[in-house]
Amino acid sequence: MKIDVVSIFPEYLQPLNLSLVGKAIENGIVDLGVHDLRQWTHDRHRTVDDTPYGGGAGMVMKPEPWGEALDDLAPVGADPDDSTAASGSRPRLLIMTPAGRPFTQRIADELADADHLIVACGRYEGIDARVAEDAATRMQVDEISIGDYVLNGGEAAALVIIEAVVRLLPGVIGNPESLAEESHAAGQDGLLEYPLYTKPQSWRGLDVPDILFSGHHAKIAGWRREQAEALTRRRRPDLLPEISDPPSGPGALHI
């Protein structure tokens, strides 16, 4: 998978060279390009922002550097349907913004099938809206939020999304079964993962539940299912289709 990230703070993406994503880059599973948006400016001050039309606080990212960046990273004229072309299949543009579609495991699964992701990290109040509109004429564009809070820019969100996607690529995680069993995985009925224990059997007066020593696989699976359901009901009832009311009253936040 090719991943291009565009930011005015390319150093912010350095952690991608660590750990599993870093190994995926070393092993050639991921071809990562991190680009400074300012390389597509042409003035002495390398300007990437300007005041908003219509007034308002803050600055808006100018469309021209973004347009040129996207022209270079996803050249116009590459046949979008020809997956044998040198450019691969149609790239997907992900624009990081708190006003975007909430990022989920389902979106990560979908993105893991792409050949080429371009991740645009906005700063200031955001990117001129015409950038997304223009890009949509030649690639799939998604505006994505990693949660209902505002960051200073899209870089931290890009780190989150890239990590969530890259760990799904074949060969990145040693035992692919671990992907199937974790919280939010497809096939887990929306349940959070059951509690996990390892050695020692007793620690600070707390014992590992006896059932886990029974050797009875069906009973262990049943216990884990009950635990997952209880945890999900308590902590994330919104994930259970049949329950819609969040917990209320004292203690509701003690999760």
Site residues (CB under 6 A) for ligand ADE? 96-98, 145-147, 149-151, 153-154, 157
Q: How far is CA 234 from the centre of its chain?
A: 25
Question: Per the annotation, does 148 bind a ligand?
Answer: yes
Question: Per the annotation, does 151 bind a ligand?
Answer: yes
- Do β-strands 49-50 and 60-61 pair in parallel, antiparallel, or remain unpaired? antiparallel
Q: How far is CA 247 from the centre of its chain?
A: 28
Q: Which is nearer to ligand ADE, 8 or 96 (CB)?
A: 96
Question: Per the annotation, does 160 bind a ligand?
Answer: no
Q: How far is the CB of 125 from ligand ADE (least distance, A)?
A: 10
Question: Per the annotation, does 34 bind a ligand?
Answer: no
Q: Which is nearer to ligand ADE, 15 or 147 (CB)?
A: 147
Q: Which is nearer to ligand ADE, 13 or 172 (CB)?
A: 13
Q: How far is the CB of 237 from ligand ADE (least distance, A)?
A: 23
- Count CB neighbours of 68 within 10 A: 15
Sign of CA dihedral 120, 124, 128, 129: positive
Structure tokens at 184: 């939010």
Q: How many helices (H) and strands (E) does the chain have?
A: 7, 9
Q: How far is the CB of 95 from ligand ADE (least distance, A)?
A: 8
Q: Which is nearer to ligand ADE, 41 or 97 (CB)?
A: 97
CA atoms within 13 A on the CB side of 79: 6
> What gap in Å lies between CA 175 and CA 173, rounded to an integer?
6
Question: Per the annotation, does 153 bind a ligand?
Answer: no
Helix, strand, coil distribution of the chain in percent, nearest 5 = 35, 20, 50
Q: Which is nearer to ligand ADE, 101 or 216 (CB)?
A: 101
Q: How far is the CB of 90 from ligand ADE (least distance, A)?
A: 23
Binding site residue list for S-adenosyl-L-methionine: 122, 146-151
Q: Which residues are annotated as a binding site?
A: 122, 146-151
